[in-house]
Structure 1
Amino acid sequence: MTMSNAATISYALRLGDTPLILAQRLCAWCGHAPELEIDLALANIGLDLLGQARNFLAYAAELSGPQHSEDSLAFGRDEREFHNLLLAEQPNGGFNDTLVRQFLLDTYHVLLHRELSRSKDSQLAAIAAKSLKEADYHLRFSHGWMIRLGDGSEISHQKIQQSLNDLWRFTAELFHADEIELQLAELGIAVDPRQLQAPWQAMVNDTLQLATLALPTEQAFRHGGKQGRHTEHLGPMLAEMQFLPRAYPNCSW
């Protein structure tokens, strides 16, 4: 396996793990959301993200060899082998927490997939182009609700602002570039995440102004998820997600 191939596998895993973990979080809302419309929307967004995760993980498995599959990568890896962004694994909390988490990641994913669709890796480019159409819809949903609740009642404004303040510390990782990303970006395969920060900040600021929300003053600083260093929240979630396939390996229905 060449160094470039190994880096591409690692990058594909990163691209797949974040939507996989976020999909698991969103689908936990099924039957529990505050309104039927929101319940259905979150479930549908979760299914979109699951589809994106499958595409990226299937590509990583293809590059890794016949001993791997999208299922083995999703259910057979341990916590330190996952490379998702820390923001995606944060607990659902209230709808306000889920919404802010979704909005911050939706904005990022729109920009990421827009750039990745130009990748010299044709498979990554094709997956990104398809994912971009879904990410645009996801952002319309979360953007609209940020404004609706931020510029809503005093209580809804307070809750959304608090969630924004609490989750802001995880946004630094979205733009933290490591050796793998820089190497692949130089080859025209990956996106240099540092180039996404300015447009992401501009889009977020525009929404916050419409929602009458204040940009958090605390500096964002948490990162490490892409390198397998996670918060205390991922392990319990993986235990629930992976229980059945690990309890009954190779089971067919």
Structure 2
Amino acid sequence: MSHCYATQGHDSLNQYILHMADNSLVLGQRLCELCTHAPILEEETALMNTSLDLFGQARNWLDYAVARNPQLGDCDALAMGRDERHFLNLLLCEQGNGNFADTMARQYLFDVWHRLTLQALCLSQDSQIAAIAAKSIKEVDYHEQRSRNWVIRLGDGTQQSHDYMQSAINDLWSYSDELFVQGEDELQLVAQGIAANQADIEGQWRTTVSQTLIEATLTQPSPTDCFQKFGGKQGEHSEPFGLMLAEMQSLYRAHPGAVW
């Protein structure tokens, strides 16, 4: 069955919904790649639980997108049938797992943004968006607590763990500015009281992250130290993302529409 993915950009609200869905879907997929690779058994369980939480959130967003536009097919078709250019996730979410410090730094930087964005969306004039946000934020609060604890634990641990976490923060900082970029269509949704205003969220995010880095004895990268990267929300992704997507979608594309 053919679905109208190419026309999603004509519906700015659905594009925003897909952006929220794709953030959770892509990061959830990255985390599930770590199954059997966590450093300790407790973290194995925590990583997979976080992944499952994110998949559940993605499903809620995707179901709403389909409810608004049945031509998109269904939740599975949106997750598994879209090409790379039709994914609207932040670049931060698709970055590779790297070592454990890389994984937890990526998680923390996203978790703070995710919590603040969901807090704003709980007040959305769109009742379904508000409901999804209210349900999701309970899980995301825990995600942030856990990832923050690991940033501090590794940053203020041994010299080796400190160096690993500092390197992770340095590398991932290049994706931080994209968190707060909003195009004209999204700003119209902000004006209507539907979408979160990232101009308000940015200051809160930077303050929260800065306080955590200080507690972790880590140095916040300066603007001149890293080249900021953008494009995820416009469907412009990295080469590793395409490889991840191919693996994630392989079964669905081999047997489209199959159920079991």
Q: Same fold (TM over 0.5)?
A: yes
How high is the TM-score relative to the length of structure 1? 0.96
Deviations 1:75-122 (A, max 9, x none): 110000000000000000111111100000000011000000100000
Stretches of 4+ aligned residues off by more than 4 angstroms: none
Q: RMSD over aligned Cα, in angstroms?
A: 1.4
Task: Letter of the 1:95 partner, please give it.
Answer: F
Match of 1:246 among 225, 236, 253: 253
Q: Secondary structure at the match of 1:233?
A: helix
Deviations 1:168-187 (A, max 9, x none): 00011000111121010011
Q: Answer yes or no: is the 8 Å Cα contact 1:4–1:184 preserved in 2.
A: no
Q: 1:225 to 1:67 in 2, by over 3 A?
A: closer
Aligned-partner Cα distance in 2 for 1:4–1:72: 17
Q: 1:154 to 1:247 in 2, by over 3 A?
A: same
Q: Which runs of 5+ in 1 are unaligned?
A: none
Deviations 1:9-30 (A, max 9, x none): 1000000001000000001111
Q: Answer yes or no: is the 8 Å Cα contact 2:84–2:235 preserved in 1.
A: yes
- Per-residue deviation at 1:221? 1.5
Match of 1:131 among 124, 127, 136: 136
Q: Which runs of 5+ in 2 are unaligned?
A: 1-7
Q: 1:220 to 1:104 in 2, by over 3 A?
A: farther
- Per-residue deviation at 1:66? 5.0
Q: 1:120 to 1:5 in 2, by over 3 A?
A: farther
Work out the number of aligned pairs and report it.
Answer: 251
- Per-residue deviation at 1:68? 1.5
Tell me which residue corresponds to 2:68: 63
Aligned-partner Cα distance in 2 for 1:105–1:21: 12
Tell me which residue corresponds to 1:92: 97
Tell me which residue corresponds to 2:160: 155
Tell me which residue corresponds to 2:175: 170
The question of 1:229 aligning with 2:240 is answered no
- Per-residue deviation at 1:220? 5.5
Task: Letter of the 1:228 partner, please give it.
Answer: G
How high is the TM-score relative to the length of structure 2? 0.94
Aligned-partner Cα distance in 1 for 2:49–2:81: 25
Q: How does 1:1-253 map to 2 (within 5 A)?
A: 6-217=11-222, 218-219=225-226, 221-253=228-260
Deviations 1:32-64 (A, max 9, x none): 100001111010000000000000011111111
Report % sequence identity.
Answer: 50
